[in-house]
Amino acid sequence: MPVFTWRSAMPASAADVFAWHARPNALARLMPPWQRYRIVERVGTGIQDGARVVMELGIGPLRVRWVALHSGYQEGRQFRDEQIRGPFQSWFHTHRFIAENRNTSWLEDQIEYELPFSPLSSWLAGARIRSLIERSFRFRHERLRMDLERHGRYAANGPQTVVISGAGGLVGRRLDAFMTTGGHVVRRLVRPPLSGGPQDIRWNPETGEVDSWALEGADAVVHLSGANLAEARWTAKRKAQLRDSRVKSTRLIADALAGLRRRPKVLICASAVGIYGDRGDTLVDERSGAGKGFLAELCEAWEAAAEPARQAGIRVVHLRLGMVLDGGGGALGRLKLPFSLGLGGRLGGGGQAISWIGAEDVVGTIYRALFDPRLFGPVNVVAPQPVTNAEFARVLARLMARPALLHLPRFAVKMALGEMGEELLLRGARVHPGRLQAIGFQYVHDNLQSALGHELGC
């Protein structure tokens, strides 16, 4: 039976690293972004003996159910999970936490596994499977080390209570998992008919309702919700929905927070670099004015809706997000299939700028904004190296080992998608992260190839 072992030094005590694994959402933080999965069921308590996790994994075009049973629980030292059902003939995974001193430790993952139809399968695919396992555990240990370092920088502030709207969205899911594994309390704003958990807070932006009393005493609010800009053509009705989902919801939260006796220290609101409009080759930063077009006007109104919170003395941060690169969704998620089939290429002239940001750097920016009073007002959440549409297509195609020869002309984009395609795909701005660079923000991925490779596992 093959045995795989991966051992890494960690910047925290064995007890702290163990506690990180025992918290909710640890599995979500450890799953690589290129791995399609869904947690179907959890039974039992965390990682203690007898607890069970049922997942649905995407392996190529197939969906495979994986049932894992926890055992061997020794608090602060180890736990084990065994595959009861899944793609392997057998799989025993032991997590060991080895103390070194008060602030450092070693994490050791040891896996004993056997492929179905072995030894023939081992001869045909054994090396490939081992390579995939190694890639996954390299990612897991790097992610864990990064999270522990981030949380360690602000450990003196103690656990925070953070309210998140849009916790089920592209950025919200990662932020939720990052915060909870770090020992913070996350309270999600949930809409009817969802009932949510005991920590969650009911709200309904359409009717202007929110359980304001439940916001009392929160340390921070992170407002990320808003209808998907690229989900449908921008008809007059759709534009109204996009505007209401952002402006009305932001105003509702800002008014509710302004009326509290114990207000949060900071309100962090999503916005977008679309506020700058189409700027061609001009480099813009947070001092630049708004551009023209529906998206620019929407972003202006979106940011202005938080004014009641600012006037009440709450530090307000507007995250002007670039294209967020997430291997599991968003723009990159939609591009994976056509590019993997060799059907990728530039859009329009290909010279329009794309100001992008890796999903982990969005999480890092939000976490920094929770604690750093130097971040307020507009903050451009972009990497320091914008690219053109054509450059983006070339890098993505090269990583996926496919050509990028196709070209969708400007008129075809406009015919297919109308104003939405014009503003989102054919226009752009070279956006500079002035505020982040001024505070010395350290990017996880400051170049496009690194960010795409991380998200896609290339």
75-93: pLDDT as tens digits: 999 999 999 999 999 999 9
Cβ neighbours of 236 (radius 10 Å)? 6
pLDDT, tens digit, 9 for 90 and up, residues 396-423: 999 999 998 889 898 898 888 899 899 9
Averaged pLDDT, 434-453 = 95
Residue 142: both structure tokens together: 């790097």
Measured on CA atoms in the order 373, 377, 381, 384, is the torsion positive or negative? negative
Task: In whole angstroms, give the CA distance from residue 319 to residue 214.
Answer: 25
Beta bridge partners of 41: 54
Task: In whole angstroms, give the CA distance from residue 426 to residue 418.
Answer: 11
Measured on CA atoms in the order 427, 430, 435, 439, is the torsion positive or negative? positive
pLDDT, tens digit, 9 for 90 and up, residues 302-341: 999 999 999 999 999 999 999 999 998 889 988 988 998 8
Task: In whole angstroms, give the CA distance from residue 301 to residue 299.
Answer: 5
Q: How confident is the model at residue 194 (pLDDT cuts 50, 70, 90)?
A: low
Residue-level pLDDT at 56: 94
Residue-level pLDDT at 432: 97
Residue 147: both structure tokens together: 């999270």
Averaged pLDDT, 351-373 = 97
CA distances to 64, 199, 265 from 262, rounded to whole Å, are 48, 18, 9
User: Can 3-153 and 155-456 be said to share one CATH topology?
Assistant: no
Cβ neighbours of 413 (radius 10 Å)? 18
- Chain length of the chain: 458
Residue 95: both structure tokens together: 């997590």
Is residue 195 scored above 70 in pLDDT?
Answer: no
Task: In whole angstroms, give the CA distance from residue 196 to residue 145.
Answer: 31
Domain 3-153: which CATH number of 1.10.10.10, 3.40.50.300, 3.30.530.20, 1.20.140.10:
3.30.530.20
Whole-number CA gyration radius for the chain: 23
Q: Is the peptide bond before 119 cis (omega within 30 degrees of 0)?
A: yes
Q: How confident is the model at residue 425 (pLDDT cuts 50, 70, 90)?
A: very high
Residue 10: both structure tokens together: 């960690």
Q: How confident is the model at residue 60 (pLDDT cuts 50, 70, 90)?
A: confident
* In the chain, where the domains are located: 3-153, 155-456
Provide the percentage of residues in the chain whose pLDDT is more than 70.
Answer: 99
Ramachandran category for residue 215: left, alpha or beta (phi over 0 → left; psi -120 to 50 → alpha): alpha
Averaged pLDDT, 62-81 = 95
Domain 155-456: which CATH number of 3.90.1170.50, 3.40.50.720, 2.40.40.20, 2.60.40.10:
3.40.50.720
Residue-level pLDDT at 154: 95
Residue-level pLDDT at 80: 97
Are residues 203 and 221 in contact, defined by beta-carbon separation less than 8 angstroms?
A: no
**Which of the two residues, 231 and 325, has the higher pLDDT score?**
325
To the nearest whole number, what is the mean pLDDT of the chain?
A: 94
Residue whose C-alpha is closest to residue 184's, from 300, 301, 324, 20: 20
- Pairing relationship of beta strands 387-388 and 406-408 according to DSSP bridges: unpaired
Averaged pLDDT, 362-378 = 97
Is residue 220 scored above 80 in pLDDT?
Answer: yes
Is residue 108 scored above 90 in pLDDT?
Answer: yes
Ramachandran category for residue 46: left, alpha or beta (phi over 0 → left; psi -120 to 50 → alpha): left
Residue-level pLDDT at 141: 97
SS (H, E, C) the chain: CCEEEEEEEECCCHHHHHHHHHCCCHHHHHCCCCCCEEEEEEECCCCCCCCEEEEEEEECCEEEEEEEEEEEEECCCEEEEEEEECCCCEEEEEEEEEECCCCCEEEEEEEEEECCCCCHHHHHHHHHHHHHHHHHHHHHHHHHHHHHHHHHHCHHHCCCEEEEECCCCHHHHHHHHHHHHCCCEEEEEECCCCCCCCCCEEEECCCCEECHHHHCCCCEEEECCCCCCCCCCCCHHHHHHHHHHHHHHHHHHHHHHHCCCCCCCEEEEEEEHHHHCCCCCCEECCCCCCCCCHHHHHHHHHHHCCHHHHHCCCEEEEEEECEEEECCEHHHHHHHHHHHCCCCEEECCCCCEECEEEHHHHHHHHHHHHHCCCCCEEEEECCCCCEEHHHHHHHHHHHCCCCCCEEECHHHHHHHHHHHHHHHHCCCCEECCHHHHHCCCCCCCCCHHHHHHHHHCC
Query: Half-sphere exposure of residue 243, counting CA atoms within 13 Å on the CB side?
Result: 15
